[in-house]
Chains A and B, each alone.
Chain A
Amino acid sequence: MASEKLYLYPIWIRIWHWVNAILFITLLVTGVSMQYSNPENPLLISFERSVELHNLCGILISLNYLLFIIGNLFTSNGKQYKMKTKGLLTRIFNQSVYYLFGMFKKQDAPYPISAENKFNPMQRFIYSTAMYVGFPIIIASGAAMLFPEIIVPQVFGFSGLLLTAIVHVIIGFILSLFLFIHLYVCTIGSSISSNFKSMITGWH
């Protein structure tokens, strides 16, 4: 494993990342508080406050997403989200085998981190899917629910608002699973906190 330090996360990525993290967690908590609203549950935020916060954070995370897209368009960071489809499954399989077995046998990571490859193939696939599929869908469905008059009233006999809400909730649920897995995988580093420190200092 390379011992020299790599500067992987420039300042704009770190700012975007932590802003995204705070907003996403707020959206998750307020989203759950609205979906399962119950004034008698002390663990949930009040419905009124949840609506206000969810709307505000939804707008802010959309603007932050714009920063991410623009940053990726005009810097080399965008390349980190591109992947070749040829051999993709094999690469993901190899990385999975490492996480499930190899790392416990002290084997070297099959795809070590470098300045050109910040993500291993599994991360690259999941991050790309989350950021370029999940985020656009959840932002679009969220915007539609913020301005419900733009939603088609009926789609194949179902309420258009309902379908939009279901899509929003399902994608939100998948992205929240991603968050938990992401947080856990980040503890797999040279130490439990090393990856978290990297996202603060920029150095890996």
Chain B
Amino acid sequence: MKSCLIVDDSKVVRMVARKILEGLSFDIDEAEDGQKAIEACQRHMPDAVLLDWNMPVMNGLQFLQELRAMQDVHQPIVVFCTTENDMDHIKRAMEAGANEYIMKPFDSDIIESKFVQVGLI
């Protein structure tokens, strides 16, 4: 079973995303900001990260940069999932090493089709 770390400061979004991804047979871990997500990755590197942008303590982009700088780890596939929906943010995310990008609001179809595209399903 593949694992996915859901990183979002909204409890509701984490719950919805968890339900969708568990339905797609993912083993789920959650983090409420980038710093907690880094700690989670150090404990156990997931196969995938579903990543919000705007969060307290450490935002999604900073998390992604730190994650991609980690040496000698199995790098996960990172899918942004954020209300930031302009080309500038999308470009910055992709340049920082994101694999896909979801603009909120999302539904199960969007999550599934994006996860298929990056080869997670």
A, B: real partners: no
